[in-house]
Amino acid sequence: MASVTFWDIRDGLLDILGYAHPEVAKMTNNIGVIEYCRGNLEEAHRSFKIAHDYQNRRNEKEMTPIETESLTLARANSLNNIGFVLAKMGESTRAVELMKSAIALYEKVLPGDDPTIAIVQGNINQVLHSPPTSSGSSRKEKAWASEGGCHLTPICFAFD
């Protein structure tokens, strides 16, 4: 019996809908969340980057204002997710840059008191105040991960 992977499902969506369809980017992002939960940082990073690439290929000129806002949120989520994984991989400088870019996008479409902005700012603060990653994780880094100090942002599917 052949097994079907999340990538197989995503590839089916890609074949049917094309790379510019938001559901393909959502599925790819969510694969990244699954890979992260499995402890596979490289695959999670790859998935988030692919999702972000798909989002950046979309043509905003053909979108309604609501679709444009949704795309801005999706881009911010993927930048936060890429930054989050890079921080876990020890690339804190790049991680902080991406998370700051995520905040700039969130601020375009969310009210200033939205908790998402505070969460990502908290992610940045955690990265800036955590010890550098080495081959063996420190107690502080393990606590950071286990206490949920940094947050991935799954992009949920909307069923009509």
Q: What are the C-alpha distances in Å from 108 to residues 21, 53, 68, 78, 153?
A: 22, 20, 11, 16, 18
Residue type, 97: E
Q: How does DSSP classify residue 89?
A: T
pLDDT (tens digit per residue) in 57-85: 888 888 889 888 988 998 999 999 999 89
* Domain boundary assignment for the chain: 6-146
- pTM value is 0.77
Rounded to whole angstroms, how far apart are CA atoms 101 and 135?
28
Query: Which of 1.20.1050.10, 1.10.3720.10, 1.10.1740.10, 1.25.40.10 is the CATH number of 6-146?
Result: 1.25.40.10
pLDDT of 156 = 41
Q: What was the pLDDT predicted at 129?
A: 82
pLDDT in tens, 126-135: 888 876 554 4
pLDDT value at residue 145: 44
CA distances for 42 relative to 6, 38, 39, angstroms: 16, 11, 9
Which candidate, 58, 94, 101, places its Cα nearest to that of 79? 101
**Per-residue pLDDT, 147:** 44
